[in-house]
Structure 1
């Protein structure tokens, strides 16, 4: 059987809005928004606390993404989700193994993670480009993540509080975007 480059919008779980896809999007939304609020409400957090919070968030988000990718491995390019999830887990593990790393090193880890996550989201959106109007939300999430990654990598010496604000805003916006995708899937499933 010949596999096409692009999965059919009629058979893709994201387009169909299956319960499992909605649940994973809701989980990712809650994690991102919770992390973003935590980072913005207590900007004076020590670098150690920020590192641990990021590490836990990145691991949980990565595991959710890996599980989603593996569950849908019959799709073409399923490995893009797997790659993004593994990058997120790796970033979280690095942050937890070396909690005393400097703000610059943490910024580089977070920047690379956000860039890889964003590029993976954009690749998924490109793959589903024929799926209809909801894909623009995936493009927005990917573009925001990639842009946050680039900004963090360009200015890694912004300091722990500056990094906290950048990461907090990014996590809130990214989480809100994922939440919008989940809501539209829920509304269209009704």
Structure 2
């Protein structure tokens, strides 16, 4: 018996899970990009603000494109709008960083904070919508919560400047990347 989703007896949550599991490698690429960004932040302690803006812009753009691709390639799943929002926000943040590289350190931090808060909230929403479909939704909730907390921390410390907070940005990126990579590997088992 087929339902309106065209996938047998699968409901919208199961279709989202199937979509994420089918494209687990996209989530893994997002995690790897995040880890690489974090490592670069730590290995270039003398990074200039302009270099930080370019590095951040590239990371946000790549992460956003991966998220959009995962949302679009989901087939018949109807509840992946949150993943598209995460991707669009990342792409916009990357474009803004490239379009106005002369942003001050404080403006850059506000952009990074806003991106982390918005994407974290939508990842939490997406994980809650998947809670009945997967066992490890807490990993996506954890990633979203870390993003929101990071964004709030950065928002509350704008006077520190981009160079003083680079270690926090790098640590966040590495932790978030590890969580996304682990989630991707766990989703891979659902793809079969």
* Alignment TM-score, normalising by the size of structure 2: 0.88
Aligned residues between the structures? 185
What residue ranges of structure 1 are gaps of 5+ in the alignment?
none
| Superposed counterparts of 1:14-163, under 5 Å | 17-18=21-22, 21-72=23-74, 74-163=76-165
Instruction: Quote how far apart the aligned CAs of 1:72 are.
Output: 2.1
Aligned to 1:182: 184
1:27-74 Cα distance to aligned partner (Å, 9 max, x none) = 111100000000012122000000000001111110111111112263
Aligned to 2:12: 7
Q: Secondary structure at the match of 2:38?
A: helix
* Farther off after superposition, 32-41 or 125-134: 125-134
> Could you tell me how far apart the structure 2 residues matched to 1:179 and 1:171 are?
12
> Could you tell me how far apart the structure 1 residues matched to 2:150 and 2:70 are?
24
Q: Let me know the Cα RMSD of the aligned residues.
A: 2.1
Change (3 A) 1:7 1:89: same
Does structure 1 conserve the Cα–Cα contact (< 8 Å) formed by 2:30 and 2:63? yes
Q: List structure 1 segments (4+ residues) > 6 angstroms apart after TM superposition.
A: none
Does structure 2 conserve the Cα–Cα contact (< 8 Å) formed by 1:73 and 1:79? no
Does structure 1 conserve the Cα–Cα contact (< 8 Å) formed by 2:18 and 2:190? no
> Could you tell me how far apart the structure 2 residues matched to 1:13 and 1:188 are?
7
> Could you tell me how far apart the structure 2 residues matched to 1:113 and 1:129 are?
24
Change (3 A) 1:176 1:152: same
> Could you tell me how far apart the structure 2 residues matched to 1:184 and 1:82 are?
21
> Could you tell me how far apart the structure 2 residues matched to 1:26 and 1:89 are?
18
